Amino acid sequence: MPPEVTVDKLVLRQAIDDLNAAYAACIDADRLEDWPAFFTDPCLYQVVPRENVDAGLPLALIRCDSRGMLADRVVAHREANIFGPHAYRHLIGRAHIVGEDGALVEARTNYAVYRTWLDSASYGETVLYSVGEYRDRIAVSAGTARLVERTVVVDTARIDSLLATPL
Amino acid sequence: MTSTSDIDTSAAARRHATQVPYRLFYDQDVYDAEQRHLFRGPTWNFVGLAAEVPEPGDFKASFVGDTPVVLTRDRDGALHCWVNRCAHRGALVCREPRGNRNAHRCVYHQWTYDPAGRLRGVPFRAGIDGKGGAPADFDLARHGLQTLAVATYGDLVFAAFDPAVEALDDYLGAPMRAALDGIFNRPLTVLGHTRQYAAANWKLYAENVRDPYHASLLHLFHATFGFYRSSQPGRIHMDPRRRHCVLESWPADAKAEAARLAAEDVTSYRAKYTLADPSLVTGRPEFRGLQILSVFPGLVVQQIQNTLAVRQLLPKGVGRFELVVTLFGYADDDPELTAIRLKQANLIGPAGFISMEDGHATEIVQRAIADRTAAESVVVMGGYDAADRDDLVNEAAIRGFWQHYRELLGERVGHAPGGDRG
Ligand code: FES
Ligand SMILES: [Fe+2]
């Protein structure tokens, strides 16, 4: 169905696209400490293989249901977990608004993440690391847009090496 | 401790088990010999959980080594496993990862098989107008799919190419059966799958899961957040042939723990942080501690807190493996317990707080031997033999793995490990 066009909707989509651009910049510039602030508290951030979504199975690769859990992921990333040094580059498509319920907007947005190794053995080598879709519920109010839920449905269900940095 | 009388303690055997030539991780001939004589030889290979194919007609595509196979359940409820390669001219018969059907039709020329792999139909078998078709002596019964022996233990389904393989119960051995009985004792519910692809030889992961020594040194999550682990009591139990490994650890008594903490100086202990949201580790009492059960060659059953999972280790070429993890709970779990299992799944899998390092560890070994070095590793923690241990600072089960590997493949891979060059 072709979408209905209204000025309100254009403004709304612009707000969500801006949110996504800032989200990508935050992760790609390795400002992970700022990442939890993109979410409400409580929230739901989960990375789910498409295989499970298709089969109706609930298992996620990452599942955080509070800002505290997001912050713990960041501390673990910085202090505990060991993985090859790398950088991400997110390419995020235009938000597709699929529903609105008062101040809560539902959107679906394609993403691709390229991963570049920064380690001694493979410095500068880039691979297409993950593609999929953000299935979001976003609280939009005057001045802010925050993620109430971001379910990352990962087409690339076979994770290359490991998943340390959020998508 | 079990007796060590059945362990070969000669100097040559000791060298074989304690010095592993890196060649075994990069040599294509070794890989080919493993496919033929290990995965397609007298070994039981995990292909799925019975709960993944609960209904008549259910099927699941899987692998034994790098051979594609399909696990099926027939109308009578019996399980079958066949090579996913058409008896006609070799096409994949089953092209979906899982599903339900009672007739498997190859798309190329529509030869059709039943769930047991028997050939049921050949189009134009009698030709058209008396021309063409199959020869008059063509016998459907002689052109079924290649089938594997199938056996189950609890919900675990295994398949074997070599019909001379010992009975599954004997293959597993008493310590492994006892551990599995503690997990597979009632109906399961599958909660989902994760897949991980690592640029490393499969045996580097087989070593990793038999290696309690690395647990507190490589995985720093527990230490970082103040859940100290390295001096936890635990043990390693093996079958008489040392091919499998039952690795268990359980919480230390609090006083002994405090004394040890005071005495130890381990860099991984630095509890500077606490979890902002401790709900991650708030589980429910269910098991005594932690269990990592490695069944030769490629199955790991794990119980970590309230997470229960099987990991299927699949070789994907000499320098690659895939790990397919299936998380499960029990059919009688209440919704809260299911939620706990799903939340604690943050600990395991490719993004797991206490598991993501394992894939990386195997990959940095593979990268470091990319020059096809003649060097060997040193596997001597806890001594030279592969006897059971009542501690977690040893590599006994790794030596056990290589001891059995040599029994299976020995000369075919140059008397591996250790070789005869020394
Ligand atoms: S290859 Fe399968 S029917 Fe011909
Ligand atoms: Fe590990």
Domain boundaries, chain B: 45-151, 174-409
**Can you give the pLDDT at residue B2?**
42
- Asked if residue B200 lies in contact with residue B321, where contact means CB atoms within 8 angstroms, the answer is yes
Please state, in angstroms and rounded to a whole number, the distance separating the CA atoms of residues A98 and A45: 19
- Within 8 A by CB and 6+ apart from B119, the residues are B87, B111, B112, B113, B140, B141, B143, B144, B145
Residues 6 or more apart from B45 whose CB is under 8 A from it?
Answer: B39, B64, B65, B158, B159, B160, B297, B298, B299
CA distance B140 to A21: 61
Neighbours of B362 (CB within 10 A): 25
**Under 8 Å CB-to-CB from B2, ≥6 apart: which residues?**
B237, B240, B387, B388
Describe the strand order of the beta sheet including B119-121 as a list of residue ranges.
B104-105, B112-113, B119-121
B86 lines ligand 1 (CB under 6 A): yes
For chain A, the structural domain boundaries read: 7-154
- Which amino acid appears at position B56 of this protein? P
Q: How far apart are CA B301 and CA B182, in angstroms?
A: 11
- pLDDT score of B5 more than 60: no
Average confidence score pLDDT of chain B: 91
Domains B45-151 and B174-409 share a fold: no
pLDDT band per the 50, 70, 90 thresholds, residue B4? very low
d(CA B180, CA B154): 8
What is the band of B254 on the pLDDT scale with cuts at 50, 70, 90? low
Beta carbons of B353 and A76 less than 8 Å apart? yes
Nearest to B342 among A63, A69, A75 (CB): A63
**pLDDT over 90 percentage in chain B:** 83
Residue A126 · residue A45 · CB < 8 Å: no
Q: Does domain B45-151 fall into CATH 3.40.50.150?
A: no
Residues of chain A short of pLDDT 70, as ranges, are none
Q: What is residue B294's predicted lDDT score, i.e. its pLDDT?
A: 98
ipTM, two decimals: 0.95
Note whether B281 and A69 are within 8 A (CB): no
Rounded to an integer, the average pLDDT of B280-296 is 94
In this prediction, residues B202-216 reach a mean pLDDT of 96
Ligand 1 and B113: CB distance under 6 A:
no
Q: What's the B123 CA to ligand 2 centre distance in angstroms? A: 52
pLDDT of residue B134: 94
Q: Are A109 and A48 in contact (CB under 8 A)?
A: no
Confidence of residue B268 (pLDDT cuts 50, 70, 90): very low
CATH of domain B174-409: 3.90.380.10
User: In one letter, which amino acid is A120?
Assistant: S
Quote the pLDDT of residue B422.
Answer: 34
E strands, A54-103, in order: 62-64, 86-92, 96-101
Nearest CA in chain B to A122: B367
Across B128-144, average pLDDT: 95
Is the pLDDT assigned to residue B259 strictly greater than 70?
no
**pLDDT more than 70, % of chain B:** 90
CA–centroid distance, B133 to ligand 1, in Å, is 14
Helix (H, G, I), strand (E, B) or coil at B260: helix
Find out if CATH 3.40.309.10 is the number for domain A7-154.
no
